[in-house]
Copies of this chain bind each other. A is one copy, B any other.
Amino acid sequence: MRDHGGNIDAAQARFGGTDWIDLSTGINRVPYPLPPIPPEGWTALPTTRAQNALIRTARAAWGCDAPMLALAGAQAAIQTIPRLALGQARVLAPTYNEHAASLRAAGWQVAEVAKLDDLAGADMAVVVNPNNPDGQAHDPLRLAALLPKVGRLVVDESFADPVPHLSMLPVAGQKGLLVLRSFGKFYGLAGVRLGFVAGHEGDIAALSAMAGPWPVSGAAIAIGQAALRDGAWAKATTARLANDCARADALALRAGWTVAGGAHLFRLYHTPDAEAAQARLARQRIWSRIFPWHPNWLRLGLPGAEPEWDRLQTALA
Protein backbone atom coordinates (compact mmCIF):
# COMPACT_ATOMS: atom_id res chain seq x y z
CA MET A 1 0.00 0.00 0.00
CA ARG A 2 1.24 3.45 -0.90
CA ASP A 3 1.81 5.88 1.95
CA HIS A 4 -0.78 8.59 2.46
CA GLY A 5 -1.72 11.22 4.92
CA GLY A 6 -4.74 10.39 7.04
CA ASN A 7 -3.15 7.26 8.49
CA ILE A 8 -3.88 8.41 12.01
CA ASP A 9 -4.25 4.81 13.19
CA ALA A 10 -0.59 4.22 12.29
CA ALA A 11 0.41 7.29 14.32
CA GLN A 12 -1.56 6.08 17.32
CA ALA A 13 0.01 2.64 17.08
CA ARG A 14 3.51 4.14 16.95
CA PHE A 15 3.32 6.97 19.46
CA GLY A 16 0.36 5.98 21.67
CA GLY A 17 -2.46 8.25 22.83
CA THR A 18 -5.84 8.71 21.28
CA ASP A 19 -6.59 12.46 21.19
CA TRP A 20 -4.52 13.14 18.08
CA ILE A 21 -4.91 16.14 15.83
CA ASP A 22 -4.57 14.83 12.30
CA LEU A 23 -2.75 17.48 10.27
CA SER A 24 -1.24 14.85 7.95
CA THR A 25 -3.83 15.62 5.28
CA GLY A 26 -5.10 18.74 3.57
CA ILE A 27 -8.59 18.24 4.95
CA ASN A 28 -10.24 21.33 6.41
CA ARG A 29 -10.62 20.84 10.20
CA VAL A 30 -13.64 23.16 10.34
CA PRO A 31 -16.10 21.05 8.36
CA TYR A 32 -19.20 22.23 6.64
CA PRO A 33 -22.07 21.80 9.13
CA LEU A 34 -23.99 18.64 8.25
CA PRO A 35 -27.42 19.37 6.80
CA PRO A 36 -30.35 17.10 7.67
CA ILE A 37 -30.25 13.97 5.54
CA PRO A 38 -33.72 12.90 4.39
CA PRO A 39 -34.68 9.32 5.38
CA GLU A 40 -34.75 8.20 1.73
CA GLY A 41 -31.12 9.29 1.44
CA TRP A 42 -30.36 6.28 3.61
CA THR A 43 -33.03 3.82 2.58
CA ALA A 44 -33.49 4.18 -1.17
CA LEU A 45 -31.19 3.80 -4.12
CA PRO A 46 -30.14 7.30 -5.22
CA THR A 47 -32.37 8.35 -8.11
CA THR A 48 -31.08 9.65 -11.41
CA ARG A 49 -32.94 12.85 -10.64
CA ALA A 50 -31.09 13.36 -7.34
CA GLN A 51 -27.73 12.65 -8.95
CA ASN A 52 -28.48 15.09 -11.79
CA ALA A 53 -29.56 17.77 -9.33
CA LEU A 54 -26.24 17.45 -7.50
CA ILE A 55 -24.37 17.84 -10.78
CA ARG A 56 -26.36 20.97 -11.63
CA THR A 57 -25.47 22.46 -8.24
CA ALA A 58 -21.79 21.60 -8.65
CA ARG A 59 -21.70 23.11 -12.12
CA ALA A 60 -23.31 26.31 -10.91
CA ALA A 61 -20.88 26.54 -7.98
CA TRP A 62 -17.86 26.22 -10.25
CA GLY A 63 -19.04 28.06 -13.35
CA CYS A 64 -18.94 24.91 -15.43
CA ASP A 65 -21.33 23.74 -18.12
CA ALA A 66 -19.50 20.60 -19.20
CA PRO A 67 -20.66 17.01 -18.71
CA MET A 68 -19.83 16.03 -15.13
CA LEU A 69 -19.96 12.87 -13.02
CA ALA A 70 -20.11 12.50 -9.23
CA LEU A 71 -17.95 9.70 -7.82
CA ALA A 72 -16.97 8.36 -4.40
CA GLY A 73 -14.12 10.84 -4.02
CA ALA A 74 -11.58 12.31 -6.43
CA GLN A 75 -9.71 9.09 -5.68
CA ALA A 76 -12.40 7.13 -7.53
CA ALA A 77 -11.76 9.29 -10.60
CA ILE A 78 -8.03 8.67 -10.28
CA GLN A 79 -8.74 4.91 -10.16
CA THR A 80 -11.04 5.02 -13.19
CA ILE A 81 -9.54 7.51 -15.68
CA PRO A 82 -6.58 5.25 -16.57
CA ARG A 83 -9.07 2.77 -18.02
CA LEU A 84 -10.13 5.21 -20.77
CA ALA A 85 -7.12 4.33 -22.91
CA LEU A 86 -3.57 2.97 -22.80
CA GLY A 87 -0.24 4.46 -23.82
CA GLN A 88 2.48 6.70 -22.46
CA ALA A 89 1.54 8.92 -19.56
CA ARG A 90 3.48 11.78 -17.99
CA VAL A 91 2.84 13.15 -14.54
CA LEU A 92 4.14 16.53 -13.40
CA ALA A 93 6.03 15.53 -10.25
CA PRO A 94 6.49 15.47 -7.36
CA THR A 95 2.78 15.22 -6.67
CA TYR A 96 0.06 13.05 -5.15
CA ASN A 97 1.41 9.55 -5.66
CA GLU A 98 -1.87 7.85 -6.60
CA HIS A 99 -1.90 9.30 -10.14
CA ALA A 100 1.25 7.54 -11.37
CA ALA A 101 0.50 4.40 -9.36
CA SER A 102 -3.03 4.08 -10.70
CA LEU A 103 -1.90 4.64 -14.29
CA ARG A 104 0.85 2.01 -13.91
CA ALA A 105 -1.57 -0.49 -12.36
CA ALA A 106 -3.85 -0.06 -15.38
CA GLY A 107 -0.99 -0.81 -17.78
CA TRP A 108 0.24 2.65 -18.75
CA GLN A 109 3.89 3.47 -19.18
CA VAL A 110 4.44 6.38 -16.81
CA ALA A 111 7.18 8.98 -16.70
CA GLU A 112 7.40 11.67 -14.06
CA VAL A 113 8.55 15.01 -15.40
CA ALA A 114 9.59 18.17 -13.60
CA LYS A 115 8.40 20.87 -16.01
CA LEU A 116 4.97 21.61 -17.42
CA ASP A 117 6.31 21.82 -20.99
CA ASP A 118 7.77 18.31 -20.68
CA LEU A 119 4.22 16.93 -20.56
CA ALA A 120 3.78 17.71 -24.28
CA GLY A 121 3.60 14.58 -26.40
CA ALA A 122 2.10 12.35 -23.73
CA ASP A 123 -0.99 10.24 -24.42
CA MET A 124 -2.14 11.28 -20.97
CA ALA A 125 -0.68 14.18 -18.99
CA VAL A 126 -1.46 14.77 -15.32
CA VAL A 127 -1.19 18.07 -13.47
CA VAL A 128 -2.37 18.73 -9.93
CA ASN A 129 -3.33 22.41 -9.62
CA PRO A 130 -2.53 23.76 -7.13
CA ASN A 131 -0.05 20.98 -6.58
CA ASN A 132 0.22 18.73 -3.56
CA PRO A 133 2.52 18.88 -1.62
CA ASP A 134 4.33 22.02 -2.81
CA GLY A 135 1.33 24.17 -3.67
CA GLN A 136 2.68 25.17 -7.08
CA ALA A 137 -0.02 26.92 -9.12
CA HIS A 138 -0.33 26.67 -12.88
CA ASP A 139 -1.86 29.35 -15.05
CA PRO A 140 -4.97 27.91 -16.77
CA LEU A 141 -3.88 29.60 -20.00
CA ARG A 142 -0.68 27.56 -19.98
CA LEU A 143 -2.69 24.41 -19.32
CA ALA A 144 -5.04 25.31 -22.16
CA ALA A 145 -2.04 25.75 -24.45
CA LEU A 146 -0.80 22.29 -23.43
CA LEU A 147 -4.11 20.58 -24.19
CA PRO A 148 -3.66 20.28 -28.00
CA LYS A 149 -0.20 18.78 -27.46
CA VAL A 150 -1.37 15.77 -25.42
CA GLY A 151 -3.88 12.96 -25.88
CA ARG A 152 -5.65 13.73 -22.63
CA LEU A 153 -4.91 16.33 -19.99
CA VAL A 154 -6.00 15.44 -16.47
CA VAL A 155 -6.11 18.46 -14.17
CA ASP A 156 -6.63 17.45 -10.55
CA GLU A 157 -8.14 20.46 -8.79
CA SER A 158 -8.58 18.75 -5.42
CA PHE A 159 -7.21 21.83 -3.64
CA ALA A 160 -8.56 24.50 -5.99
CA ASP A 161 -11.76 25.55 -4.19
CA PRO A 162 -10.14 28.61 -2.59
CA VAL A 163 -8.47 29.68 -5.86
CA PRO A 164 -11.27 29.65 -8.48
CA HIS A 165 -9.19 31.73 -10.91
CA LEU A 166 -6.93 28.68 -11.36
CA SER A 167 -9.76 26.38 -12.39
CA MET A 168 -10.15 24.80 -15.80
CA LEU A 169 -13.81 23.96 -15.05
CA PRO A 170 -15.12 26.99 -16.98
CA VAL A 171 -13.48 25.57 -20.13
CA ALA A 172 -14.12 21.88 -19.39
CA GLY A 173 -15.98 19.92 -22.04
CA GLN A 174 -13.23 20.27 -24.61
CA LYS A 175 -12.04 17.01 -26.07
CA GLY A 176 -9.17 15.51 -24.09
CA LEU A 177 -9.57 17.65 -20.97
CA LEU A 178 -10.58 15.99 -17.69
CA VAL A 179 -10.93 18.11 -14.55
CA LEU A 180 -11.13 16.51 -11.10
CA ARG A 181 -12.61 17.98 -7.94
CA SER A 182 -12.54 16.67 -4.41
CA PHE A 183 -15.45 17.50 -2.12
CA GLY A 184 -14.04 16.22 1.17
CA LYS A 185 -10.97 18.41 1.45
CA PHE A 186 -12.29 21.98 1.32
CA TYR A 187 -15.58 21.05 2.98
CA GLY A 188 -13.78 19.02 5.66
CA LEU A 189 -15.90 15.92 5.02
CA ALA A 190 -13.51 13.35 3.59
CA GLY A 191 -15.45 10.46 5.13
CA VAL A 192 -18.44 11.28 2.90
CA ARG A 193 -16.54 10.06 -0.19
CA LEU A 194 -17.57 12.53 -2.86
CA GLY A 195 -15.69 13.91 -5.82
CA PHE A 196 -16.36 15.02 -9.37
CA VAL A 197 -14.91 14.71 -12.82
CA ALA A 198 -15.85 17.02 -15.70
CA GLY A 199 -14.87 16.48 -19.28
CA HIS A 200 -15.83 15.75 -22.84
CA GLU A 201 -19.15 14.00 -23.34
CA GLY A 202 -17.67 10.69 -24.56
CA ASP A 203 -15.19 10.41 -21.72
CA ILE A 204 -17.77 11.20 -19.05
CA ALA A 205 -20.18 8.65 -20.52
CA ALA A 206 -17.42 6.01 -20.49
CA LEU A 207 -16.45 6.83 -16.89
CA SER A 208 -20.11 6.73 -15.86
CA ALA A 209 -20.52 3.27 -17.37
CA MET A 210 -17.46 2.07 -15.45
CA ALA A 211 -18.75 3.57 -12.20
CA GLY A 212 -22.16 1.93 -12.47
CA PRO A 213 -25.56 3.41 -11.70
CA TRP A 214 -25.16 4.33 -7.99
CA PRO A 215 -21.56 5.40 -7.34
CA VAL A 216 -22.28 7.87 -4.52
CA SER A 217 -24.39 7.50 -1.40
CA GLY A 218 -27.64 9.30 -0.66
CA ALA A 219 -25.96 11.10 2.23
CA ALA A 220 -23.18 12.32 -0.09
CA ILE A 221 -25.79 13.70 -2.49
CA ALA A 222 -27.69 15.53 0.27
CA ILE A 223 -24.55 16.94 1.87
CA GLY A 224 -22.97 17.91 -1.44
CA GLN A 225 -26.15 19.68 -2.51
CA ALA A 226 -26.30 21.79 0.64
CA ALA A 227 -22.61 22.60 0.79
CA LEU A 228 -22.04 23.45 -2.86
CA ARG A 229 -25.00 25.84 -2.80
CA ASP A 230 -23.58 27.75 0.14
CA GLY A 231 -21.40 30.36 -1.50
CA ALA A 232 -21.21 32.41 1.69
CA TRP A 233 -19.63 29.53 3.62
CA ALA A 234 -17.11 28.96 0.84
CA LYS A 235 -16.15 32.62 0.78
CA ALA A 236 -15.79 32.88 4.56
CA THR A 237 -13.81 29.63 4.68
CA THR A 238 -11.42 30.80 1.98
CA ALA A 239 -10.76 33.97 3.95
CA ARG A 240 -10.23 32.08 7.20
CA LEU A 241 -7.88 29.60 5.55
CA ALA A 242 -5.77 32.41 4.06
CA ASN A 243 -5.42 33.90 7.52
CA ASP A 244 -4.67 30.53 9.12
CA CYS A 245 -1.90 29.86 6.59
CA ALA A 246 -0.13 33.01 7.74
CA ARG A 247 -0.68 32.05 11.38
CA ALA A 248 0.79 28.54 10.88
CA ASP A 249 3.72 29.92 8.91
CA ALA A 250 4.56 32.34 11.71
CA LEU A 251 4.72 29.46 14.22
CA ALA A 252 6.86 27.40 11.83
CA LEU A 253 9.30 30.25 11.27
CA ARG A 254 9.76 30.64 15.02
CA ALA A 255 10.67 26.93 15.15
CA GLY A 256 13.43 27.55 12.61
CA TRP A 257 11.58 26.07 9.66
CA THR A 258 11.11 27.83 6.34
CA VAL A 259 8.12 27.88 4.03
CA ALA A 260 8.77 25.65 1.00
CA GLY A 261 5.27 26.00 -0.42
CA GLY A 262 1.65 25.36 0.31
CA ALA A 263 -1.93 26.00 -0.67
CA HIS A 264 -4.90 27.19 1.37
CA LEU A 265 -5.42 23.77 3.01
CA PHE A 266 -1.83 22.79 3.84
CA ARG A 267 1.65 24.22 4.29
CA LEU A 268 4.94 22.71 3.19
CA TYR A 269 7.90 23.42 5.46
CA HIS A 270 11.60 22.90 4.96
CA THR A 271 12.93 21.55 8.26
CA PRO A 272 16.46 20.56 9.34
CA ASP A 273 15.29 16.92 9.56
CA ALA A 274 11.77 15.92 8.57
CA GLU A 275 11.67 12.79 10.72
CA ALA A 276 12.76 14.73 13.79
CA ALA A 277 10.25 17.47 12.99
CA GLN A 278 7.46 14.90 12.67
CA ALA A 279 8.43 13.33 16.00
CA ARG A 280 8.48 16.80 17.63
CA LEU A 281 4.89 17.39 16.55
CA ALA A 282 3.94 13.83 17.49
CA ARG A 283 4.94 14.48 21.09
CA GLN A 284 1.99 16.87 21.18
CA ARG A 285 -0.08 14.23 19.37
CA ILE A 286 -0.12 16.24 16.16
CA TRP A 287 0.27 14.05 13.10
CA SER A 288 2.00 15.44 10.01
CA ARG A 289 3.13 14.17 6.65
CA ILE A 290 6.71 13.55 5.60
CA PHE A 291 7.94 12.13 2.32
CA PRO A 292 10.23 9.16 1.78
CA TRP A 293 11.80 10.99 -1.17
CA HIS A 294 12.68 14.26 0.61
CA PRO A 295 14.65 14.40 3.88
CA ASN A 296 13.59 17.93 4.87
CA TRP A 297 9.99 18.45 3.80
CA LEU A 298 7.10 18.28 6.22
CA ARG A 299 3.53 18.96 5.11
CA LEU A 300 1.14 20.29 7.70
CA GLY A 301 -2.59 20.79 7.51
CA LEU A 302 -4.14 23.71 9.38
CA PRO A 303 -5.50 23.41 12.91
CA GLY A 304 -9.21 24.08 13.42
CA ALA A 305 -10.40 25.05 16.89
CA GLU A 306 -8.26 27.21 19.21
CA PRO A 307 -7.14 24.29 21.45
CA GLU A 308 -5.62 22.75 18.34
CA TRP A 309 -3.68 25.95 17.65
CA ASP A 310 -2.52 25.94 21.27
CA ARG A 311 -1.11 22.44 20.84
CA LEU A 312 0.67 23.42 17.62
CA GLN A 313 2.12 26.49 19.31
CA THR A 314 3.37 24.34 22.21
CA ALA A 315 4.91 21.84 19.81
CA LEU A 316 6.75 24.52 17.86
CA ALA A 317 7.74 26.76 20.80
Contacts and interface: CB of A to CB of B under 8 A. Distances in A.
Nearest to A6: B45
Contact of A191 (B22, B42, B75, B190): B42
Contact of A213 (B4, B105, B191, B192): B4
B98 A191 contact: no
Interface residues of A, number: 53
Contact of A73 (B31, B47, B214): B214
Nearest to A39: B31
A47 B193 contact: no
Interface in A46-89: 46-50, 72-73, 75-76, 78-79
Contacts of A98: 212
A1 interface: yes
B45 A190 contact: yes
Nearest to A24: B45
A192 B41 CA distance: 8
A27 B42 contact: no
Interface in A86-100: 98
22 contacts: A6-B45, A7-B47, A8-B44, A8-B47, A9-B50, A25-B45, A27-B43, A27-B45, A31-B43, A34-B42, A40-B191, A41-B191, A42-B189, A46-B191, A72-B216, A75-B213, A75-B214, A76-B212, A98-B212, A191-B217, A191-B219, A192-B219
